[in-house]
């Protein structure tokens, strides 16, 4: 089975791929609210959730997939108070066919400006 690394322009990070396509599965690395290397929505969990999903979508597009192909999500939140903002954005994006998911409260992320990090798994053969 062929493996393909997925790194959208402006999202490359040394030592890791933003996503990996192997077979019909796409594993998307945890995405934070970065756009062109700058934090989006400092202190705003809704803006950060939207950017996390925009980044996931950019990775999926490289494999010809969309958010409709997502089968699982994992969200790491630095505070439980941000869950409603994350869930609101997620539910708006996946209202018809929601993926399974996990949300975990963590002590912190790579930068104190990040309120959440979201990972995804998509399966492109499910269309």
The domain limits of the chain are: 3-126
Contact at 8 Å (CB) between 20 and 6?
yes
For the chain, the farthest-separated pair of C-alpha atoms sits apart, in whole angstroms, at: 42
CATH, domain range 3-126: 3.30.1330.40
pLDDT of residue 127: 47
pLDDT in tens, the chain (127 residues): 789 999 998 887 778 899 999 999 999 999 999 999 899 999 999 999 999 999 999 999 999 999 999 999 999 999 999 999 999 999 999 988 899 999 999 999 999 999 999 999 999 975 4
Contact at 8 Å (CB) between 51 and 33?
yes
pLDDT of residue 96: 87
Question: Helix axis angle, 45-61 relative to 83-93, nearest 10°?
Answer: 40
């Amino acid at each position: 089975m062929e493996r393909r690394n997925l790194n959208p322009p402006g999202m490359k990070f040394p030592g890791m791929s933003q996503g990996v396509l192997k077979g019909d599965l796409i594993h998307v690395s945890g995405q934070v609210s970065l756009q062109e290397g700058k934090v989006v929505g400092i202190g705003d969990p809704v803006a950060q959730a939207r950017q996390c999903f925009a980044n996931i979508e950019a990775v999926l597009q490289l494999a010809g997939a969309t958010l409709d192909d997502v089968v699982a999500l994992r969200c790491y939140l630095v505070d439980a108070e941000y869950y409603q903002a994350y869930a609101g954005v997620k539910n708006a994006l996946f209202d018809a066919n929601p993926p399974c998911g996990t949300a975990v409260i963590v002590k912190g992320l790579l930068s104190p400006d990040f309120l959440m990090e979201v990972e995804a798994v998509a399966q492109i053969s499910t269309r």
